[in-house]
Amino acid sequence: MFIKINWGVSNYFRGRDIRVLFRREITSLNGGEHMMKEIEKVLKNIKKYDAKISDIELEIADLKDLCSISIRGINYDNLVKTNSLISKTELQAMKDLEIERTIEILEYKKRHLERFLSRINNAIGSLNDIEKQIIQLKCLDNKIWRFITFEVGLEERQCREIKKRAIEKICNVINVEDIIKFDKMQ
């Protein structure tokens, strides 16, 4: 990296450590690199997110079945009067409320995942055909560069540049801070 200094403004640098000023610039450049790596990590894990959605759907179905069984399981004929503050019926109702709350949380997570994947798919949709193909092969299908160059008909260097450009475009479309928060939530 070449850094050009305008010597006419050297008074600005007088008394300041120039390395600190340049470290700030390099850090901001590395921040962009960090964002691109986060996007690439998300792209490589898209299948995992699809599987997570399916798993949440199955868990919701299990909880709904459990809730319907527990409602039918209450027998009002055999209730024994006790001195406890909470009866079996009230206890069962509290368990049902807890199950319903869990179902609501799981449905929220599922909707959140679906919206997140929709954002990713929209960003990929904004790419041109060759960029989509390279992102599909490298990030989503995890193919090696030799295979990609054969499929696309370009040199490896060109494919790497196209991939980098495509990820930059995706970074411009998607808010990366949301991706980082989303990834931590998982």
Per residue in 116-166, pLDDT (tens digit) is 899 999 999 999 999 999 999 999 999 999 999 999 999 999 999 999 999
pLDDT at 75: 53
Report yes or no: 150 and 156 within 8 Å, Cβ to Cβ.
no
What are the residue boundaries of the structural domains of the chain, listed by start?
A: 34-78+87-185
- The better pLDDT of the pair 67, 140 is held by 140
Instruction: Give SS3 for 74.
Output: coil
Per residue in 8-20, pLDDT (tens digit) is 444 444 444 433 3
pLDDT at 1: 40
Report, in angstroms and rounded to the nearest whole number, the Rg of the chain calculated over CA atoms.
27
Q: What is the mean pLDDT of residues 108-116?
A: 91
Name the residue type at position 134.
I
Q: What is the mean pLDDT of residues 93-122?
A: 90
Long-range contacts of 101-108 (CB under 8 A, 24+ apart): 102/63, 103/60, 103/63, 103/64, 103/67, 106/56, 106/59, 106/60, 106/63, 107/60
Average pLDDT of the residues of the chain: 77
pLDDT at 84: 60
Name the residue type at position 88.
K
Instruction: Give SS3 for 41.
Output: helix
Report the predicted TM-score, pTM, of the whole model to 2 decimal places: 0.66
pLDDT at 180: 59
